[in-house]
Amino acid sequence: MSPEPTPACPVCGSESGVLEIQLVVAGDPLSFALCSSCEWKSWAGLVGPLSLGSVLDLASAQGREPAWHRPGRPPAGGSAR
């Protein structure tokens, strides 16, 4: 096993100040990088870099069920009446 090198901060170039955190949001593995030197932040998912807005969308969708996601099954009973 070789440890993944921590990427340098693209803003200030600091390597020691960059923290990388792996986490799962709404079932998708994401990585969050944070520079403690200049407060640069970056989110990345399987498909590539993510904007903060799309990450927040994922996080908020996690606890809320969209209406279009519910099975709209009509009540059984056939043709009564």
Positions that interact with Zn ion (CB under 5 A):
9, 11-12, 14, 35, 37-38, 40
Shortest distance in whole angstroms from residue 43 CB to Zn ion: 15
For the bound state, the minimum distance from the C-beta of residue 8 to Zn ion, rounded and expressed in Å, comes to: 8
Minimum Å gap between C-beta 41 and Zn ion is 10
Which residues of 1-81 form beta strands (DSSP E)? 18-25, 28-35, 41-45, 48-50
Instruction: CB nearer to Zn ion: give 41 or 62.
Output: 41
User: Of the candidates 57, 47, 53, 50, which has an alpha carbon nearest to the alpha carbon of residue 33?
Assistant: 50
Residue (7 or 29) nearer to Zn ion, CB: 7
Query: What are the angstrom distances between the C-alpha of 58 and each of 12, 19, 66, 68?
Result: 29, 22, 12, 16
